[in-house]
């Protein structure tokens, strides 16, 4: 079975994408039949795809560019969602509430756009 470079590239993207989705618990593990979350493994798979994006830039066909860009976007959004779900809840034994933004005018609003709306930013945990 002789495969072209384009076919091999497509299979590599699929393998790394599937590994990331499986590590985020979005795909059932084929051996255990369970959804298991390993956020560091998911991060590693996404990092591998980002490295592949950088190293192959300028050498890909248009459809390969689109496939890789779509895959990375989908994985990043799922990663942010999964990481947010895995964050530990606030400790209910702590009685001191966090200071309000009005009480500390020197605090910068780093995650808000000028109009006060939340701004999406890349975060891997």
Q: Could you tell me the residue ranges of all domains in the chain?
A: 5-86
Residue 6 has pLDDT above 80, yes or no: yes
> DSSP letters of the chain?
----HHHHHHHHHHHHHHHHHHHBTSS--TTT-S--B-HHHHHHHHHHHHHHHHHHTTSS-HHHHHHHHHHHHHHHHHHHHHHHHHSPPP-TT--PPPPPGGG-TT---TTB-TTS-B-------
Chain segment 26-41, per-residue pLDDT in tens = 999 888 889 999 999 9
Percent of the chain clearing pLDDT 70 (strictly above)? 69
Percent of the chain clearing pLDDT 90 (strictly above)? 59
pTM of the model: 0.67
Chain segment 66-76, per-residue pLDDT in tens = 999 999 999 99
């Amino acid at each position: 079975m002789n495969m072209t470079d384009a076919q091999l590239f497509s299979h590599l993207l699929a393998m790394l994408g599937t590994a990331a989705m499986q590590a985020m618990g979005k795909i059932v593990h084929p051996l255990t039949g369970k959804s298991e979350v390993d956020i560091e493994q998911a991060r590693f798979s996404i990092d591998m795809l980002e490295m592949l994006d950088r190293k192959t830039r300028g050498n890909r066909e248009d459809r390969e560019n689109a496939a890789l860009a779509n895959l990375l976007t989908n994985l990043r959004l799922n990663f942010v969602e999964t990481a947010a779900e895995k964050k530990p809840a606030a400790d209910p034994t702590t009685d001191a509430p966090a200071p309000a933004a009005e009480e500390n005018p020197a605090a910068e609003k780093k995650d808000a756009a000028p109009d006060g709306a939340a701004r999406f930013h890349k975060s891997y945990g």
